[in-house]
Amino acid sequence: MAPEARVIRVGDIDVTALLDSVVLCDARQFLPLFGQEMLLSYGDAAEAPLVRLPTTCFLARSGSKNILFDTGIGNRGRSGEAMGYLDRRLREIRVAPEDIDLVVNTHMHNDHVGWNTVDDERGTAVPFFPSATFLFQAAEADHWLRPERIDQPGHQHLRQCVMALAEAGKAKFCSADESIDRQINFVSTPGHTPGHVAIGIYSAGERAMILGDVTHYQAQLDHPEWSPVWDTDPKQSAATRQRMFEELSSSGSVVAAGHWPYPGFGRILQVEHTRIFQAV
């Protein structure tokens, strides 16, 4: 059965969680040094050594604009990849692809840019959201779109879901200190990738943070140093994660964590020496 869309209100802005896909990953592979400990202390024994990793995208309705944050894994089903269902999730809430005004990618990994484009009948990548402008970070482009990276095996998404949009004049490459609109900002959070950004929403005295890949699993609340192999710079990502968890628990901001159990909305609370997640 399709998961129900979950919506939270942040001041004047509605944020809807849209589950694109769920994959099972072997903790001993993505966390070689600590995977076994993670499975023992935090894993679901029935699924060990696998850990469930959802990919959730978030749609914000801000003023009259629909802004989509990350686009999941897409529908190409490249080898070893899951299929994504963001298209269905949008249909279920009666949002058509042409209703999306802005797409914001927190970084350029394949599970975050997938639905930016689909292949037409000739196999050409075309924008899935025909009216949208696509915002990327210039620092991501500087890292990922270099000749030595763009054609590496497993990097087809860079040409299909980023370059194709740049060539169509639909992409804008931003710096992290620009604003997305009056109430929504990028938050520089490097480490997972060099130009990774979270998204800060500040509206009518309320705040929320779309975390992107600052974190992949809740065990990192206790162990921010448990950086998965997907982090480009594991030391920097651990420092960023620690800083963000501290800020978010002291500000009481609502978080939207796309790889935590769906829908990933909640607060990070500091209770004595432990950090806990309280879903909302």
| Interface with Zn ion (CB under 5 A) | 111, 213
Considering the complex, state which of residue 137 and residue 183 has its C-beta at the smaller distance from Zn ion.
137
Considering the complex, state which of residue 87 and residue 111 has its C-beta at the smaller distance from Zn ion.
111
* Spatial distance between the Cα atoms of 136 and 28, rounded to a whole number of angstroms: 32
| 244, β-bridge pairs | none
Considering the complex, state which of residue 57 and residue 118 has its C-beta at the smaller distance from Zn ion.
57
Considering the complex, state which of residue 114 and residue 127 has its C-beta at the smaller distance from Zn ion.
114
Task: Give the tokens for residue 218.
Answer: 């809740």
- Tokens 């949002």 — which residue? 95
Contact, 109 vs 230, CB < 8 A? Answer: yes
The DSSP code sequence of 28-95 is HHHSTTTHHHHHHHHS-TTTTTEEEEEEEEEEEEETTEEEEE---S-S---TT-PPP-HHHHHHHTT-
State the nearest-atom distance from the C-beta of 110 to Zn ion, in Å: 8
Query: Which amino acid, one-letter code, is at 112?
Result: H
State the nearest-atom distance from the C-beta of 245 to Zn ion, in Å: 18
State the nearest-atom distance from the C-beta of 230 to Zn ion, in Å: 7
Contact, 56 vs 18, CB < 8 A? Answer: yes
Considering the complex, state which of residue 213 and residue 231 has its C-beta at the smaller distance from Zn ion.
213
Considering the complex, state which of residue 111 and residue 231 has its C-beta at the smaller distance from Zn ion.
111
Phi, psi at 195, each rounded to 5°: -110, 25
Considering the complex, state which of residue 13 and residue 18 has its C-beta at the smaller distance from Zn ion.
18
| Residue closest to 158 by CA, chosen among 231, 104, 109, 230 | 109
* Spatial distance between the Cα atoms of 173 and 38, rounded to a whole number of angstroms: 37
State the nearest-atom distance from the C-beta of 112 to Zn ion, in Å: 6
Sign of torsion over alpha carbons 38, 31, 248, 22? negative
| Residue closest to 259 by CA, chosen among 51, 56, 48 | 56
